[in-house]
Chains A and B, each alone.
Chain A
Amino acid sequence: MENQKFNYDNKIVKLFILATLVWGVVGVLVGILAAAQLAFPVFNFGLEFTTFGRVRPLHTNAIIFAFVGNAIFAGVYYSMQKLLKTRMFSDTLSKIHFWGWQLIIVLAAVTLLAGFTTSKEYAELEWPIDILITIIWVVFGWNMIGTIVVRRVQHIYAAIWWYLATFLGVAMLHVVNSFELPISLFKSYSIYAGAQDAVVQWWYGHNAVAFFLTTPFLGLMYYYLPKAANRPIYSYKLSIIHFWSLIFLYMWAGPHHLLYQALPNWAQALGTTFSIMLIAPSWGGMINGLLTLRGAWDRVRDSAALKFMVVAVTAYGMSTFEGPMMSLKSVNQITHFTDWTIAHVHIGGMGWNGGLVFGMLYWLVPKLFKSKLFSEKLANTHFWLSTLAILIYAIPLYWAAVTQWLMWRNYTDEGFLQYPNFLETVTQLIPMYMARIVAGILFLVGFLIMVYNLAKTMAAGSFVNDEAAEAPALVLAGARNPMKETVHRWMERRGVRFSILVFIALAIGGAVEIIPMIFIKSNVPTIDSVKPYTPLELEGRDLYVKEGCYVCHSQMVRPFRWETDRYGEYSKIGEFVYDYPFQWGSKRTGPDLARAGVVGGPMYKNAAWHYNHFMDPQKMNEQSIMPNYAWLSVKNTDLTKTPKKIRAMQTLGVPYPEGYDEQAVEDYLTQAEGIVADLKASGIETDAKKQIVALIAYMHKLGRDIAEQPEVAQVEMHAESFTEEATQKEVKLLEGAEDLAAGEKIFKTTCVVCHGADGKGIGTFPNLVDDEWLHGNSPEQVFKDISEGNVAKGMIPYKTQFSEKQITQLTSYVLITLQNKENEDRK
């Protein structure tokens, strides 16, 4: 058959390689900054744009999507063309893909530092960027599938199976996890709440690791490892088995990020068991890689590229054994929320992803530039620096994790937590955090040596944008001959059918876990006392998200005695039904905040404490590593967005009364005035619109709703609307025994704290039964006092908590029952 002539597009590969090098340096530098901030808080620079809460998500995004992402595309664009003996389907799509991806990276860097974030890990970017990612990802997939269609090779090689799974998996994960309701260009709310949001997010988060950091790299391994070693793949059968088992099983394992948390037991068990079942499929990749090197180990000694690949595959094997072990509940209680997870992901990131990228580049760049690597010696230096960096990074952090876990759970002989102050357990880790900085610097030095080495190699070589090649046209084979061809072999030449099967294998795990969480009510048992956020608390929550507080503070007390003694009651699923998005966190660099609003609980701090702590944490605890948030006391919140936020919440299903958006700003200010007055009593001057006031209100909401009430459960939020006229119209006292009893119930649960059981007032709070009334004792006036409150004096406006009827009942109880009692006593 006659050969067709065509050109490989090498230019797109070169562009992606250059981007890999640039973003790699940036990503590692940002990582070193984040590491420095945890050892020395001064590196937060006192600026809102450079606090750890914003820098850490930038680091993870830069490494995963910028450095690793560009490296994947470089490797895929080169190997796809060679494996399919064709140029990429469309040069235009290639270019859109490249420049679109770089635009996303720049937008991500700017918006994350500016505080525009959804707070969902590795999916922090706001909705306009999410849409852009979707478009660019589809461009990538379109280009890839188009290339498969125009191929000149009968069968699709294993590497490309992995690329296909990557494209389909990430598309599915990204779209499902990014459903959000925008309220402005840079602010949206996840459409999932609480435990549901958690299940979706960690289905995504875990599989971002799978389909961005694992499957594409297995694909790259299947091309670059046998190429560099010049050896055949050890076992074709193993390729098939571990491909299908891995992509199917991975999608189920997400809940292992939520063990011992507020998630149904069945979902947790799926997370554990599917993680354990993943050991063999993951190791299948490692084994096929290492056995491919059989008889070529002498080449490994001489080639830095192969050395890096061997370390990469070994690190992959270690991580994929460690991961399932961390998914056992008993191990997870040590590794979760501590630095263990951080060490684990860096074995994967620096070892597996970094190693394979470095190995690939040391092989690919000389190939593309038709020259030899400038210096094998420098590459070896890079190899040893990099390997050393991994060890210096991981070992101290494993140590830190175990140390801190032991300190968290240690009891004195008397039965009290030995380290009740969380900070003590952090201070202990600072030397380990310092070692991590050293590791980061070593890794960066090695990286820069590679950049220099590759630049020299490029300069010495000659590069052609379009590399000439020829191959015979593809004549598609016909129907399957059962005698000669296995079903799988047949599928390998049917690209579309193959893709559909991959899609089905991917979709099952997520569907089985997510659909029941959303549609079966018993999975999210509700708690009646849990009320929606007030407008002020909601604003505070948005600030909590914006400042990245979740990066260091969890809101998830696990059912261990050593956690409930330290924080308070363990977290329940029903607590989080209004949490769009959930804020459980995944790392405790600071203490858990789920019970920060439980008055009388071990985590409660008053408003003045919070104010001073936000302003300067080190002033209150010299050894604290929390950044200061002084700008919170200067910057105002944007109240024009408040009604919109309330409406968005209503759309998502939060039961605010109809038309509450119009009332929201007023309620916001009233509640804020209460906090301002509280702060003023402690000598702190601020005003109701300051961000710090909203954040304090949110702190005081956390856990409050399920805290034990002194007598009966709190009265539910009124369902009917509270009309404007209500405060002016005539109030008729309700004299029926039933109404008075209802009024008494409210009085005894709510008012008694300040006014006393007999209404005579405690301390400086006013007596309600004497003849002296501060604001008059007409039913209308008393009704108004209760509903509108008098925040300056500490009287809370109760109209957001009680209905008109309830307030009328309360008014009646005060003016009739209490007054009668007093009159009798006087006689």
Chain B
Amino acid sequence: MSDKDKQILDQDENLMDHDYDGILELDNPPPRWIMMLFYITIGWSIIYGAYYFWLKEGNLQDEEYAQKSEQHDEKYQIATISSDELVAFTDEASLAEGKQIYTELACMACHGMNGEGNAIGPNLTDDYTLHGCDFQSAFHTIKEGVPAKGMTAYKTQMSEEKIQKVASYIMSLRGTNPANAKDPQGEKCE
């Protein structure tokens, strides 16, 4: 009991008549600030709910994505090439770079080392194409891909400028007659 007495002595606060295995309790009110904090968080939660679901001010998940995605596209607009500029490069440097991209992205896995085609992808060197003859079509095929047939869309992996270069390289392959060329597929280009 002496311990308890000592507690009471150096504690001139309102001790309650609670005693659990020697543990006493004081009748202090909770600190004001913690109660304030509690009320503030409750108020904040009501405002949060009202903002999104009653006033409908806040963007819900899908809208938020659509909006942010739009902003993203605006921000990086510079990367697209206008249709006027969308012509095949013919200079050596660009074609060499195009060839390098062709190797880096492993185009040969499906179209052969020299564009001759293999069991998976079509021959790129003949006069026939599956998805259009002009440069714009080649550009588009590389950019958007042909997912159903296994052609990857490369728009998420490289800039349009690079696509332009690799497409230019592919156009330059036309009529090269490599060995083991695959049989023509698709429409004939004039």
Q: Does B159 contact A (CB under 8 A)?
A: yes
Give Cα distance in the complex from A272 to B146, angstroms: 42
| Contact code string A216-243 (vs B, CB < 8 Å = 1, else 0) | 0000000100110011111111110110
Q: A265-B60, A279-B37, A561-B72 are in contact. Are A274 and B45 (CB under 8 A)?
A: yes
Question: Within residues 234 to 292 of chain A, which ones have a CB less than 8 A from any CB in chain B?
Answer: 234-239, 241-242, 245, 260, 265-266, 268-269, 272-274, 276-277, 279-281, 283-284, 287, 291
> Is A83 at the interface (CB under 8 A from chain B)?
yes
- CB-CB contacts of B42-74 with A at 8 A, as 1s and 0s? 101100110011000000111011001100100
Given B29, B68, B148, which contacts A599 in the complex, CB threshold below 8 Å? Answer: B148
Within 8 A of B (CB), among A618-636: none
In the complex, chain A residues whose CB is within 8 Å of the CB of B10: 295
B residues 110-155 near A (Cβ < 8 Å) are 119, 122, 130, 145-153
Taking the closest CB of chain B, its distance from the CB of A416, in whole angstroms, is 7
Q: Please report the C-alpha to C-alpha distance between residue A232 and residue B30 in the assembled complex, in whole angstroms.
A: 15
Q: How far is the CA of A231 from the CA of B65 in the complex (A)?
A: 55
State the Cβ distance, B2 to closest chain A Cβ, in Å.
Answer: 11
B residues within 8 A CB of A762?
Answer: 130, 149, 185
B72 proximity list for chain A (CB < 8 A): 415, 561
Chain A proximity of B66: nearest CB distance (Å): 9
Bound-state CA distance A570–B22 (Å) is: 59
- Contact partner of A280 among B7, B34, B145, B149, CB < 8 A? B34
A600 adjacent to chain B (CB < 8 Å): yes
* B interface residue count range (under 10 / 10 to 19 / 20 to 34 / 35 or more): 35 or more
The reply to whether A237 and B30 form a contact with Cβ atoms under 8 Å apart is yes
Smallest CB-CB separation from A223: which chain B residue? B23
With contacts A283-B37, A559-B61 taken as known, whether A238 is within 8 angstroms of B24 at the C-beta atoms is no
Q: List B contacts of A242 (CB < 8 A).
A: 30
A570 to B61, CA, bound (A): 11
Q: Is A482 positioned at the interface, with any CB of B under 8 Å from its CB? A: no
Give per-residue flags for A315-359: 1 if the beta carbon is below 8 A from chain B beta carbons, else 0: 000000000000000000000000000000000000000000000
User: In this assembly, does B26 line the interface, its C-beta being within 8 Å of a C-beta of chain A?
Assistant: yes
Instruction: Give the shortest distance, in Å, between A704 (CB) and chain B (any CB).
Output: 11
- Does B11 reach chain A (CB closer than 8 Å)? yes
- With an 8 A cutoff between CB atoms, is B27 at the interface? yes
List chain A residues, Cβ under 8 A from B29. 235, 237-238
Q: Is A560 an interface residue (CB 8 A)?
A: yes
Contact in complex: B42, A420 (CB < 8 Å):
no
Q: A411-B76, A416-B157 are in contact. Are A280 and B41 (CB under 8 A)?
A: yes
Given known contacts A269-B52, A599-B150, A707-B147, is B61 in contact with A232 (CB within 8 Å)? Answer: no
> A276 to B76, Cβ gap below 8 A?
no
Determine whether the beta carbon of B38 is less than 8 Å from that of A280: yes
Which residues of chain A are near B69, meaning CB under 8 Å?
A: 561, 564
Within 8 A of B (CB), among A396-417: 411, 414-417
Tell me if B21 counts as interface (CB < 8 A to partner A). yes
Instruction: Look across to chain B and name the residue whose beta carbon is closest to the beta carbon of A708.
Output: B147
Instruction: Name which residue of chain B comes closest to A270, CB basis.
Output: B49
Q: Tell me, in angstroms, the Cα distance from A279 to B42 when the chains sit together.
A: 10
Residues in chain A near residue B18, CB distance under 8 A:
155, 157, 236
Instruction: Give A463 Cβ to nearest chain B Cβ, in Å.
Output: 20
- Within 8 Å of chain B (Cβ to Cβ): is A710? yes
B158 sits at the interface (CB 8 A):
yes
Q: Is the CB of B156 within 8 A of A753?
A: no
Whether the Cβ atoms of B149 and A82 lie closer than 8 Å is no
Task: Let me know if A276 and B28 touch, CB within 8 A.
Answer: no
Contact at A233–B25, with CB atoms within 8 Å? yes
Bound complex: CA A223 to CA B23 (Å): 8
A693 an interface residue at 8 Å Cβ cutoff?
no
Once bound together, how far apart are the Cα atoms of A226 and B24, in whole Å? 8
CB-nearest residue of chain A to B118: A763
- Given A280-B38, A764-B119, check contact A599 B147 (CB 8 Å): yes
- A798 → B minimal CB distance (Å): 16
Query: Which residues in window 94-124 of B have CB below 8 A to A?
Result: 119, 122
B76–A273 touching, CB < 8 Å: no
CB distance from A701 to the nearest CB of B (A): 16
Q: Is B31 an interface residue (CB 8 A)?
A: yes
B165 at the interface (CB under 8 A from A): no
Interface flag for A461 (CB, 8 Å):
no
CA A230 – CA B20 in complex, angstroms?
Answer: 12
Judging by beta carbons under 8 Å apart, are B152 and A600 in contact?
yes
Cβ contacts B168-190/A at 8 Å (1 or 0 each): 00000000000000100100000
Q: Across the interface, name the chain A residue whose C-beta is closest to B21.
A: A82
Chain A residues with Cβ under 8 A from B62's Cβ?
Answer: 559
Q: In the complex, A729→B22 CA distance in Å?
A: 89
Contacts of A291 in B (CB 8 A): 28, 31
Asked if A602 CB lies within 8 Å of chain B CBs, one says yes
Residue pair B119, A287 in contact (C-beta under 8 Å): no
The CA-CA distance from A417 to B30 in the complex, in Å, is 51
Say yes or no: is A565 at the interface (Cβ < 8 Å to chain B). yes
Q: Is the CB of B49 within 8 A of A269?
A: yes
Decide: B53 and A266 in contact? CB cutoff 8 A.
yes
Asked whether, in the complex, the Cβ of B64 is within 8 Å of the Cβ of A559, the reply is yes
Within 8 A of B (CB), among A48-92: 79, 82-83, 85
Return chain B residues, CB-CB under 8 Å to A295.
Answer: 10-11
Verify B122–A232 contact, CB threshold 8 A: no
**Which residue of chain A is the closest to B121 with respect to CB atoms?**
A763
Chain A residues with Cβ below 8 Å from B44 are 273, 276
* 28 A-B pairs whose Cβ atoms sit less than 8 Å apart in the complex: A82-B21, A85-B21, A153-B20, A155-B18, A159-B20, A227-B23, A231-B7, A232-B7, A233-B25, A235-B28, A235-B29, A236-B16, A236-B28, A239-B25, A265-B52, A268-B61, A269-B49, A269-B53, A273-B48, A277-B45, A280-B34, A283-B34, A295-B11, A560-B65, A561-B72, A564-B65, A570-B65, A601-B147
Q: List chain A positions with a Cβ less than 8 A from chain B.
A: 79, 82-83, 85, 153, 155, 157, 159, 223, 226-227, 230-239, 241-242, 245, 260, 265-266, 268-269, 272-274, 276-277, 279-281, 283-284, 287, 291, 295, 411, 414-417, 420, 559-561, 564-565, 570, 598-602, 604, 681, 707-710, 752-753, 762-764
Nearest first, the 9 closest Cβ-Cβ pairs linking A and B are: A600-B147, A415-B76, A280-B38, A273-B45, A232-B24, A559-B65, A157-B20, A238-B30, A235-B28
